[in-house]
Amino acid sequence: MATVMNFLINYVDAAVAYATTPADYILVDLVNDYLIWTAGDTVVKDLMTHEPTADELNAAGTIISDIADTMVAKCLLMDYSHSVGGAYYTHLVLGMGLNSRYSYCFSFDGITATIPRLEAWDDSDHDTIAKHVLGASTPANSMVKAVRTTGGLPGAGWAGTPIAGAANYVELDTAVLSGAKDLYANCKIVIPQSYATPSAELFCLTVRYTYL
């Protein structure tokens, strides 16, 4: 059968691998759940008891700094089923943007022909990167930074690869998969100092992989 990938986020301890403690991870229901990058506030936060509204998300937006680049402080999983650890709709992705190895997990159940990649696009057509968050068609300027952590910690203050489009991506391992394996990455959004165009943008993070 075709190789299948499951996407999980760590919400307990970003120093622990999925294989070691599966209970530290939430299996993301990709159809109904979604990720929120936000500065957060007293309303939009870990362990919300309702789905955040658009107004609430806007109020918790990141403030663009005129003196330094700004990392969006939090990534929340919006858990549609709100069935993990109580009736909570949001869970903080632990270690996002930090020197943490096990924040985002990509669990494959079989072999691949090529090395799986993490990419970013405007939408599911996977053919444009015009959005500001993706560098407004200049991949090197993408605000979405990712780093492979399958083999180890990303390092303090990791810069990552600005991912956008077909040329700027992160390979999630150093070789093709010869069997089932859990791959890891860390991913953050960094807004350049004094960026002139405030916006709330939806973009498409995608995993591209192959099977025989």
Partner 1 sequence: MNPLFQILFDDKTTFLGGNLKETKWQSIPDKKIITLIYFMPIGDALVLSEYNAYYHYVEVTNDLTGPKKGQVQLEYIYLIGKKDTTYKLYKINLKTQQIEIQILTENDKLIKELNPIGWKKGI
Total residues at the site for partner 1 (CB under 8 A)? 36
Of the candidates 172, 207, 190, which has an alpha carbon nearest to the alpha carbon of residue 30? 207
Query: Whose Cβ is closer to partner 1: residue 42's or residue 174's?
Result: 174
Q: Is 99 exposed, middle or buried (0-12, 13-18, 19+ CB in 10 A)?
A: middle
What does 12-41 look like in DSSP terms, one character per residue? S-TTS-TTT-GGGEEE--TTT-EEEEE---
**Distance of closest approach, residue 66 Cβ to partner 1, in angstroms:** 29
Of the candidates 145, 139, 188, 148, which has an alpha carbon nearest to the alpha carbon of residue 166? 139
112-131 footprint of partner 1 as x/- string (CB under 8 A): xxxx---x-x-xx-x-----
User: Could you give phi then psi for residue 97, rounded to 5 degrees?
Assistant: 80, -5
Both tokens of residue 132? 């500001």
Site for partner 1 in 25-64 (CB under 8 A): 28-32, 34-35
Query: Whose Cβ is closer to partner 1: residue 5's or residue 73's?
Result: 5
**Distance of closest approach, residue 7 Cβ to partner 1, in angstroms:** 6
Query: Whose Cβ is closer to partner 1: residue 65's or residue 118's?
Result: 118
208 is a site residue for partner 1 (CB under 8 A):
yes
Both tokens of residue 45? 């936060």
105 is a site residue for partner 1 (CB under 8 A):
no
Cα distances (angstroms) measured from residue 166 to each of 94, 106, 124, 145, 159: 28, 20, 13, 15, 20
Query: Whose Cβ is closer to partner 1: residue 34's or residue 88's?
Result: 34
102 is a site residue for partner 1 (CB under 8 A):
no
Where on the chain is the footprint of partner 1 (CB under 8 A)? 1-2, 5, 7, 28-32, 34-35, 111-115, 119, 121, 123-124, 126, 175-178, 202-212
